[in-house]
Amino acid sequence: MPEKNPLRKLSPDELGRLSVEAYRAAPKLPLRLLLDNVRSRYNVGSLLRSADAFRVEKVYLSGYTPAPPHPEIHRSALGAEESVDWEACPDPLPLVEELRRTGWKVISLEHTTQSISLWDMEWLPPPWLLILGNELIGVQDALLAQSDMIVEIPQFGTKHSLNVAVAGGIILHEAVRRLMK
Amino acid sequence: MPEKNPLRKLSPDELGRLSVEAYRAAPKLPLRLLLDNVRSRYNVGSLLRSADAFRVEKVYLSGYTPAPPHPEIHRSALGAEESVDWEACPDPLPLVEELRRTGWKVISLEHTTQSISLWDMEWLPPPWLLILGNELIGVQDALLAQSDMIVEIPQFGTKHSLNVAVAGGIILHEAVRRLMK
């Protein structure tokens, strides 16, 4: 490693992270997340934590996706449920239709006959609504039918898919890199 | 969406995932993962699941990182602890020194005075050992000092960092895309 900066970990102050108040006032990316029928509070909390890191404008929690406040969500969100703008919405279909009418592009993460690899996809012009579905059965068919694009992460193993919080983190990271570069 | 392929989810058979036996015999990528002092069994299981998806050659579990078999690891690994080659190694330093001597490049994920953004880094020639550390205090200094490169994922929120399984998934995905393209 180069010698000029002695190697040490950065303190929380040096990382320049925002306070909750500053975060709520700060500009967000044209990127929202819809978690539909995600069962695990751990996954919801972890996705809220990723949404905080990546300046997601809003997170919708639809169907039976658990919403804050809850100790298990808090434990994996580490408090990101306070900084991230989220909304519980029992039925996601009218929401998705309304967002599409106002120019949002709907991108679902799922293995289908029409899925495009995350490595090959051409991102549509933003704003983007990313949809993640249930841990076992994935994104429901009615939401797939409303999607402008369905994406899959290339995988080469024995399991059906990645954990939904990990897969969501990968696609969020990719989306944010596109938006910020 | 185009009309020619009627939209439907793919069945597990159509995904072409490997059996455990076929996976163990299949070629792997020149990519190993070292989990040092990762505390949570949930995170270890989730990282084993990602290692399976991304054909990681081997996962080392060092320090007090819990090892399989354990019901909590099994629950988040979904059995990937059977397909992925893993090894418990109490002290990671001799291992890392030996891998470096035999040509492995050591890449740690940490916020330091010498970290390079994942968005800007120039990947060294493989093979790569990726190091992830403890959920709270990160990668230990002795391993940082042995790293050829220290990488950070750009983040813009209120929290110190992403969940370690999510961050690990993001860097693994990026490494695998580089190796396979």
Digit-coded pLDDT (tens) for A58-109: 999 999 999 999 999 999 999 999 999 999 999 999 999 999 999 999 999 9
Q: Output the pLDDT for position B12.
A: 86
Q: Output the pLDDT for position B180.
A: 95
- For residue A49, the chain B residues in CB contact (below 8 A) are 159, 162-163, 166
Q: Output the pLDDT for position B181.
A: 85
Q: Output the pLDDT for position A129.
A: 98
CB–CB contacts below 8 A, A to B:
185
Residues 44-73 of B with CB under 8 A from A: 46, 49-50, 52-55
Query: Which residue ranges of chain B lie beneath pLDDT 70?
Result: 1-4
- For residue B2, the chain A residues in CB contact (below 8 A) are 114
C-alpha distance from B50 to closest chain A C-alpha (Å): 6
- CB-based burial, A124-147: b 16+ in 10 Å, e otherwise: eeebbbbbbbbeeebbbeebbebb
Q: Output the pLDDT for position A4.
A: 67
Locate B148 and state its tokens: 């050829």
Q: Output the pLDDT for position A3.
A: 58
Virtual torsion, Cα A47, A137, A152, B45, nearest 10 deg: 60
Q: How many CB atoms lie within 10 A of CB B30?
A: 16
For chain A, the helix, strand and coil percentages under 3-state DSSP, each to the nearest 5: 35, 20, 40
**Residues 6 or more apart from A108 whose CB is under 8 A from it?**
A130, A131, A133, A139, A143, A144, A147, A149, A150, A151
How far is the C-alpha of A139 from the C-alpha of A101, rounded, in Å?
Answer: 21
Q: Output the pLDDT for position B5.
A: 82
- Going by C-alpha positions, the residue among B146, B48, B27, B52 that lies closest to residue B95 is B146
Query: Is pLDDT above 90 for A157?
Result: yes
Q: For B166, which of A2, A55, A165 is closest by C-beta distance? A: A165
Average pLDDT, whole number, for chain A? 96
How many residues in total does chain A contain? 181
Q: Output the pLDDT for position B116.
A: 98
Q: Output the pLDDT for position B135.
A: 97
How far is the C-alpha of B56 from the C-alpha of B29, rounded, in Å?
Answer: 6
CB B150 within 8 A of CB B116: yes
Q: Output the pLDDT for position A103.
A: 98
C-alpha distance from B37 to closest chain A C-alpha (Å): 16
Locate A180 and state its tokens: 């910020």
Locate A141 and state its tokens: 């068919």
Q: Indicate the SS3 state at residue A7.
A: coil
Q: Is B166 on the interface with A (CB under 8 A)?
A: yes
